[in-house]
Amino acid sequence: MRVAAIDLGTVSSRLLLASVEGGAIVQSSKVTEITDLGQGVDATGRLSEAAIGRVLAACAGFVRRIDDFAPDAVCTTLTSAARDAENGATLIEGLEQLGLRPQVIPGEVEARLTFYGVAHDFPGQRIAVADSGGGSTELVVGRYSPGEPLSLEHLRSLNLGCRRITDRFLADNPPAADQMEQASAWAADLLSSYWQDAGQCPDRLVAVGGTVTTLVAMANELAAYDPAFVHLHELTVADVEKCIALMAPRTVDQIAQLPGIQAKRAPVMLGGALIIREILRTGGYNALIVSENSLLVGMAATLREVLDGQDPVIGWTPVLS
């Protein structure tokens, strides 16, 4: 069974083409483009024409790849930036003209999809999963065993992300020390309330998203990004502090020259690193495990269930094209 999943986030637009057998992905390819859809949304409440154009251009390329792949089903989702923007319909119309059937999903569905994608590597284990994106951060505690219902204890989507925190607090280039302190305090306040309500934290914290994968690449000075190296790699508080110390005195252009960083991600990397540090601190963790299996993998598994005529494990049914 072949499926295609598109995830249009606040910072990046991503495509997964996957062959699925027996509930497992047996072959896949992924394309990620930094399209910065959420630039300025926190302040204006609107998507810019330039941002919409970047996403539509990326999706036009995705559609060509999808046509060549000839999947049984395609699913297209939009997350935080599209949820926040008052003119999201303009982007939706452009995507429909490309032949896609886009859905703006709520934060809870985003969190469920991400947890489902991650949990396949930790069957039966009680884990915490953090997905820190551009506009929001989803946190979930729960467990999943194949063939059993998804068991989620505590789920929350916070309006906290690397693009949002950068636009709101880190105005200077490089930001002043007090700007970084204010950003960290804001993140800590939001995150602390989650962990307090979650009760006893699981022993294992797993994180997904472009910020944590880039932090692994930075901390290990990867000349070329290696997903096999990054997947299930441990990222410690000391690693994150090291990366923050490297970025804090530098301009965005200088950050873009550091090993392991995509130039287009450089403007939001410091803000993203501050969020990851506070996720670790407020949860009482010294380290986390980085996963490459995020929302897209959860979507692929859900598409397979729908095509098989099953009720989706996560309790959400996608619109297919």
Nearest residue to 134 (alpha-carbon basis) of 211, 194, 188? 211
pLDDT for 199 beyond 90: no
Q: Are strands 127-132 and 24-34 parallel, antiparallel or unpaired?
A: unpaired
pLDDT for 21 beyond 90: no
Q: What is the mean pLDDT of residues 274-299?
A: 96
How much is the pTM? 0.94
CATH class of 121-290: alpha beta
Domain boundaries, the chain: 2-106, 121-290
What does the pLDDT look like over 135-170, one tens digit per residue? 999 999 999 998 888 999 999 999 999 999 999 999
What does the pLDDT look like over 209-257, one tens digit per residue? 999 999 999 999 998 999 999 999 999 999 999 999 999 999 999 999 9
pLDDT band for position 24 (cuts 50, 70, 90)? confident
* CATH code for the domain defined by 2-106: 3.30.420.40
Residue 189: predicted pLDDT: 97
Q: What is the mean pLDDT of residues 287-298?
A: 95
How far is Cα 309 from Cα 313, in angstroms, rounded to an integer?
12
SS3 readout for 110-148: HHHHHHHHHHCCCCCCCEEEEEECCCCEEEEEEECCCCC
Q: What is the mean pLDDT of residues 276-297?
A: 96
Same fold, 2-106 and 121-290: yes
User: How remote is the C-alpha of 311 from its chain's centroid?
Assistant: 25
